[in-house]
């Protein structure tokens, strides 16, 4: 006899407003890492904006993605800048830079340098033109692979190739390429407005050993 299925609340996205869809998705798919992205405008103004629809794509070459959601039908400076200059730098956010990251999330007028407003310190990148934010623990210089427009708004899925990686001293074991998550100390987004999390409670599970099934690592 099968156990009774748990009671479920079900929602048809076609019957929901976009804001309702967003609340369900963003409140469920958690925690999400934060990409603090720097770009460069044609007039040389450096821009910084945080995105929590962000993750790794794959390797060979290393690739990452983040999603730009238009506001009131307008793409933010980040999207316009990348279309004109297909380079950007993605930064991981930790406790030390969280307040400045939060400042960068404000709806500044177009052409405003969030970097200057938040008083973030910069350094030249090695392979791309947008600057790096030296206060962030990890910095990925990227060149644009593609911008894919998906959905009815549409959303802009930005895919970049990582061409240079920078880490604060002590985060990476250079012999083993092991990243110390405790030293990286990233923060992530949770549900609702202004909700964040820290990586402070971790546990480990090895892959199962099943007879007849080849063991893999990862």
Q: Domain map of the chain by residue range?
A: 16-193
**For residue 212, what pLDDT is reported?**
82
**For residue 213, what pLDDT is reported?**
82
Instruction: Give the distance, in angstroms, between the CA of residue 152 and the centroid of all CA atoms in the same chain.
Output: 22
Torsion (CA) 59, 125, 34, 135 in degrees, nearest 10: 130
Instruction: Give the distance, in angstroms, between the CA of residue 192 and the centroid of all CA atoms in the same chain.
Output: 17
Sequence-distant (6+) residues with CB within 8 A of 42 are 84, 85
For residue 217, name the pLDDT band (cuts at 50, 70, 90): low
Domain 16-193, classified CATH 3.20.20.10, yes or no:
no
**For residue 125, what pLDDT is reported?**
98
**For residue 210, what pLDDT is reported?**
87
Distance CA 155, CA 178 (A): 34
Whole-number percent of the chain with pLDDT over 70 = 96
**For residue 32, what pLDDT is reported?**
95
Q: Does residue 132 carry a pLDDT above 80?
A: yes
- The pLDDT mean for the chain works out to 92
**For residue 107, what pLDDT is reported?**
87
**For residue 209, what pLDDT is reported?**
86
**For residue 47, what pLDDT is reported?**
94
Instruction: Tell me the pLDDT tens digit for each residue of 26-76.
Output: 999 999 999 999 999 999 999 999 999 999 999 999 999 999 987 766 778
C-beta atoms surrounding 71 within 10 Å:
10
Distance CA 161, CA 88 (A): 10
Closest among 26, 29, 40 to 87, alpha carbons compared: 40
Instruction: Give DSSP secondary structure letters for 127-164.
Output: SSSSPEETTSSEEEEEEEEEEEEETTTTEEEEEEEEEE
Instruction: Tell me the pLDDT tens digit for each residue of 85-108.
Output: 999 999 999 999 999 999 999 988
Closest among 145, 40, 128, 51 to 84, alpha carbons compared: 40
Torsion (CA) 63, 68, 74, 75 in degrees, nearest 10: -20
Confidence (pTM):
0.91
Helix, strand or coil, per DSSP, at residue 32: strand
77 phi-psi bin (left φ>0, alpha ψ -120 to 50, beta other): alpha
Q: What is the DSSP letter of 4?
A: P
**For residue 5, what pLDDT is reported?**
80
**For residue 64, what pLDDT is reported?**
98
Whole-number percent of the chain with pLDDT over 90 = 76
Distance CA 36, CA 104 (A): 9
**For residue 218, what pLDDT is reported?**
56
């Amino acid at each position: 006899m099968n156990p009774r299925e748990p009671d479920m609340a079900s929602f048809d996205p076609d019957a929901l407003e976009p804001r309702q869809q967003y609340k369900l998705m963003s409140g469920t798919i958690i925690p999400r890492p934060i990409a603090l992205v720097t770009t460069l405008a044609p007039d040389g103004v450096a821009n910084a904006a945080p995105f929590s629809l962000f993750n790794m794509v794959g390797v060979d070459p290393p690739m990452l993605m983040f999603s730009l959601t238009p506001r009131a039908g307008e793409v933010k400076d980040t999207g316009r800048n990348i279309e004109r200059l297909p380079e950007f730098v993605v930064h991981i956010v930790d406790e030390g830079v969280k307040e400045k990251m939060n400042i960068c999330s404000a709806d500044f007028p177009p052409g405003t340098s969030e970097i200057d407003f938040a008083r973030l310190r910069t350094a030249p990148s090695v392979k791309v033109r947008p600057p790096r934010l030296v206060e962030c623990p990890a910095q990925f210089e990227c060149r644009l692979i593609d911008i894919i427009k998906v959905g009815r708004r549409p959303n802009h899925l930005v895919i970049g190739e990582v061409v240079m990686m920078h880490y604060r001293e002590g985060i990476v074991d250079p012999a083993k390429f092991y990243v110390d998550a405790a030293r990286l100390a990233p923060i992530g987004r949770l549900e609702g407005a202004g909700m964040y999390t820290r990586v402070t409670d971790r546990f480990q599970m090895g892959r199962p050993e099943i007879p007849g099934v080849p063991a893999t690592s990862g």
